Amino acid sequence: MEKSSNEELSETAITAWAQLLRSSQNLLANIEAELKSKKMPPLSWYDALLELRNQKTNRLRPFELQKRMLLTQYNMSRLIDRMARDGFIECLDCNEDKRGKIVHITQSGRALLRKMWPIYRLAIINGFASKLDESEIDKLSEILLKITVTED
């Protein structure tokens, strides 16, 4: 049931769009604040480590990680530098491309994921899951799946 680009945009659609963005920003801000209060790194660190851990090889090229996380190249470079400096990832030479690097999660990175997850989990429960019943969560998931854009 896609609409053409020249159709009118209803006030309801505009309001729903604004609520989606506002709720997303509020949820993320609350998670960031909770992580910070527990002296943990930002959520982007968790996301990067999780992406690396979920790979069969525990490693990705920086551009692959960037694509999965939807960060700009500049921000990804800074993130990788900081995480490598703190020992949560390591940058290895790429055999296929001598100029390229491969980002690999370390044992310290795995340990950080385990430490961050309970804080993140509780923030998801308090800010999201506890406010909806299972049928609402199912319906929301179904709706969001319709608008999720993937470029794989």
pTM of the model: 0.83
Give the distance from CA 34 to its chain's centroid.
16
Tell me the pLDDT tens digit for each residue of 63-106: 899 988 877 888 889 999 999 999 999 999 887 776 788 999 99
Is the per-residue pLDDT at 150 higher than 70?
A: no
- Is residue 124 domain-resident? yes
Domain, as residue range, for 96:
42-132
Q: Given this model, what pLDDT does residue 93 score?
A: 87
Rounded CA separation 93/60 (Å): 12
- Is residue 8 domain-resident? no
Rounded CA separation 111/100 (Å): 27
- Is residue 46 domain-resident? yes
